Structure 1
């Protein structure tokens, strides 16, 4: 008998039995099921199992939150159920059978950017640190920056740009690699395609607007502008998918004995040509249009309304998986504007959800069993991981989730109303302040306080008025 064999048997029964499981895997904290019929899963009974901290459905998968011991639980479950586990990627593919077209598109987008997030987070922190030592006049009565009075810090400032440039200027390389990896095609071809979009031979994307003359490739009958796509997101996505699909098609029709030569050549060369003639220019215009619309919405006279709606609805977007879209928009804003005013609102939403859980800890301070779930959930939420808090506590009681959404909306209005900008996507929750441009840190700190206090107070008020009862 395994440690969780008894609970595993219960879960197997309540989920609809072995015959209802199309695929099962696990991640860091959750069991991931692809069910043949989601209606057969008895959610109330499943959430009543002692080791289960919550459930939710996302990306076509029924997910059961277990916590840090999920790997042990998973092993006991597959032993009890007599099923073969699959990898997380295989489960995602199987889960698409339960998704509509829009959900599939969002799922693909999330899978492209998820492997890139660690690098983007590091890049954001580096840019923030460079701004602090290179742009804020802290010394000699507020007249000089740290880099102006110290050769050491000037050297650090210069050196760190090596990493920042690699992450953001050459982002298309990461995107095209990630697409090739996701599509199961040749990853080195994806990397090479990305390099052709940011090659030093090309006119840097940031220099195009001020260039007197743009160099061209002259084919005699036609000329193609030699423009780079540094930090551009959509051109890289379009080119990456064309390469992957073209490689798959060429491989199908190519004889195996010459495929090593034919497939790379006829996949890569046409894609690079298309990328610079068609996909790049179109993608650039699309990306610029998206970023301009979002930025205009956030800086217009109705920017406060845009912020309030986004702040209020971001947490529900996480439940549906639609929040993955914001990564692409954030990166596009960074490319066009040198920063993003969308990411600060996401960090504030994380904080608001954590603050609602903190209020539940206070309300249920005499319930030791409840604290075993809520305390770790609050900590992880303040560090940017909201799922244990949302699905384990806030959605279970309902009113804390509503309180967090209201607090997030108010904090978002303060952030957008003050034109707060982040250097890039960063660590969520409280550490999100490290990604904020230095001149906005003080006002963002005020928004953070609102995101802590308002949900906490509202959760307590709602609980006393019994706005919603525990499920």
Structure 2
């Protein structure tokens, strides 16, 4: 008998049997189930299993925290359950059957931006480093020079790194349109080409449009079209990408296969480029400016502290619903309009606050070895920007740590916004996030970060003494 045979049989029974499993896969520590009927799963019995360290449901998937041995357990489970292996993409597709319309829309948005996040994080770190060596006059004999003024090496490094920064942010529309064609299953190279037409050097750079004396145009005799680029613009790229994808999908349905290789790309790409520059580009620009102006004005107004408090308090619940993915587009639009974002620092602080609440639970449950197997890795990953294990595995399980983290996040967000902290871009959403903060704002961000660490720890311990999590502790004691 294999090591996990009995546990696998138990879990199979508690999730409703093989017939109730649509798809099952796993990640680094969790089993991910898409169940045909979630009501058939006995959550209490699943959580009472010795092997199981917690459960939660997210994005239409029932997730069971197993730990580092999950891959071995998964192999044993699939043999006993008779459920075939599948990919994470298949699981995502199947999970959408358990989502409502809003959840599906948010899932689509997440699938667009998730492949871009590694590049955006790198870009944020690069911009932050360029700020340190090029914008802080704290060096030299008199302490009033920047590093690039003192050293040719740093001056050359500063100029060289912009090559990467420009590629990531100015040419962002290329990545967005590519991500859409990838998600929609259409021809990705056409998406890349369409994206390039939005940022071509032939066009007037988006950053030069506000101060331009005259805007060049294409003259078709009966009409003219302005030659405006959409560098760093998010919404025009999203609209253009979906038009291209749906044009290609529609054309493939009506054009015979024998000639589709020639005519589908031709009749999809040319109209998409024309529509992008004539209609969608200008409309998307206006929508993006409208959204970014509202957010920026709200955060910098006399009532900015109130907006910050609401966002800081509510961001973690947004993660539960998946609505937090919308902030990626807003952050990128703010960067395009204002050269930075005052929204992202609050996101990093919220992540830190959730991790700090877990640290408090580690101290409270320091004699519970099973709990530490979940809480210690969760706290570490949370401080590095991945919050789901901490939130679903610990904080939501007890309730009061989640509330303590929300209050800590709210307090830190008010400090961040009140002191005008700006980030160069999206970055690592945890303690290393300071590297993406504009160098002049580091001091106040560190103050806000300290608050996001200390307040949740103190409040979690106070709440535990007040027996706010009594029912959860009683259930844990029965295990």
Question: Can you list the C-alpha shifts for 1:113-157, whole angstroms capped at 9, x where unaligned?
Answer: 000000000000000000000000111333210000100000000
Segments of 5+ residues of structure 2 without an aligned counterpart are none
Provide the residue aligned with 2:406 in structure 1.
405
Give 1:88-103 correspondences, 5 Å limit: 88-103=88-103
Cα distance, 1:66 vs structure 2: 2.6
Counterpart CA distance in 2 for 1:328 and 1:34 is: 28
Cα distance, 1:73 vs structure 2: 2.4
Counterpart CA distance in 2 for 1:418 and 1:12 is: 53
Counterpart CA distance in 1 for 2:52 and 2:303 is: 43
Kindly report the root-mean-square deviation, in angstroms, between the aligned alpha carbons of the 2 structures.
1.2
Counterpart CA distance in 2 for 1:252 and 1:69 is: 46
Counterpart CA distance in 2 for 1:42 and 1:428 is: 34
Counterpart CA distance in 2 for 1:312 and 1:2 is: 47
Counterpart of 2:22 in 1: which secondary structure? strand
Counterpart CA distance in 2 for 1:332 and 1:4 is: 49
What TM-score comes out, normalization by structure 1 length? Answer: 0.98
Counterpart CA distance in 1 for 2:292 and 2:355 is: 30
Provide the residue aligned with 1:6 in structure 2.
6
Counterpart CA distance in 2 for 1:2 and 1:406 is: 46
Provide the residue aligned with 1:121 in structure 2.
121
What TM-score comes out, normalization by structure 2 length? Answer: 0.96
Counterpart of 1:238 in 2: which secondary structure? helix
Provide the residue aligned with 1:38 in structure 2.
38
Judged with a 3 Å threshold, the aligned counterparts in structure 2 of structure 1 residues 2 and 110 are, in CA distance, closer, same or farther, namely: farther
Counterpart CA distance in 1 for 2:331 and 2:76 is: 41
Counterpart CA distance in 2 for 1:112 and 1:5 is: 39
Provide the residue aligned with 2:174 in structure 1.
173
Counterpart of 1:394 in 2: which secondary structure? helix
Judged with a 3 Å threshold, the aligned counterparts in structure 2 of structure 1 residues 97 and 190 are, in CA distance, closer, same or farther, namely: same
Provide the residue aligned with 1:27 in structure 2.
27
Provide the residue aligned with 2:310 in structure 1.
309
Q: Is the 8 A contact 1:121 1:427 kept in 2?
A: yes
Give 1:229-268 correspondences, 5 Å limit: 229-268=230-269
Greater displacement, 15-24 / 199-208: 15-24
Counterpart CA distance in 1 for 2:58 and 2:376 is: 24
Provide the residue aligned with 1:384 in structure 2.
385
Provide the residue aligned with 1:427 in structure 2.
428
Q: Is the 8 A contact 2:53 2:370 kept in 1?
A: no
Q: Is the 8 A contact 2:53 2:371 kept in 1?
A: no
Counterpart CA distance in 1 for 2:361 and 2:380 is: 13
Cα distance, 1:285 vs structure 2: 0.6
Provide the residue aligned with 2:71 in structure 1.
71
Q: Is the 8 A contact 2:67 2:374 kept in 1?
A: no
Question: Can you list the C-alpha shifts for 1:10-66, whole angstroms capped at 9, x where unaligned?
Answer: 221111111111122223332222111111122222222233232222222222223
Question: Can you list the C-alpha shifts for 1:73-112, whole angstroms capped at 9, x where unaligned?
Answer: 2222211110113211121111111111111110000000
Q: Is the 8 A contact 1:53 1:388 kept in 2?
A: no
Provide the residue aligned with 1:51 in structure 2.
51
Question: Can you list the C-alpha shifts for 1:234-266, whole angstroms capped at 9, x where unaligned?
Answer: 010111111111101101111111000011001
Q: Is the 8 A contact 1:22 1:34 kept in 2?
A: yes
Q: Is the 8 A contact 2:116 2:175 kept in 1?
A: yes
Cα distance, 1:68 vs structure 2: 3.2
Counterpart CA distance in 2 for 1:456 and 1:287 is: 38
Provide the residue aligned with 1:326 in structure 2.
327
Counterpart CA distance in 2 for 1:67 and 1:116 is: 28
Provide the residue aligned with 2:457 in structure 1.
456
- Tell me whether 1:137 sits opposite 2:137 in the alignment: yes
Counterpart CA distance in 1 for 2:340 and 2:4 is: 47
Cα distance, 1:447 vs structure 2: 0.4
Provide the residue aligned with 2:292 in structure 1.
291
Counterpart CA distance in 2 for 1:53 and 1:111 is: 28
Give 1:308-387 correspondences, 5 Å limit: 308-387=309-388
Counterpart CA distance in 1 for 2:341 and 2:38 is: 38
Q: Is the 8 A contact 2:56 2:393 kept in 1?
A: no
Counterpart of 2:33 in 1: which secondary structure? strand
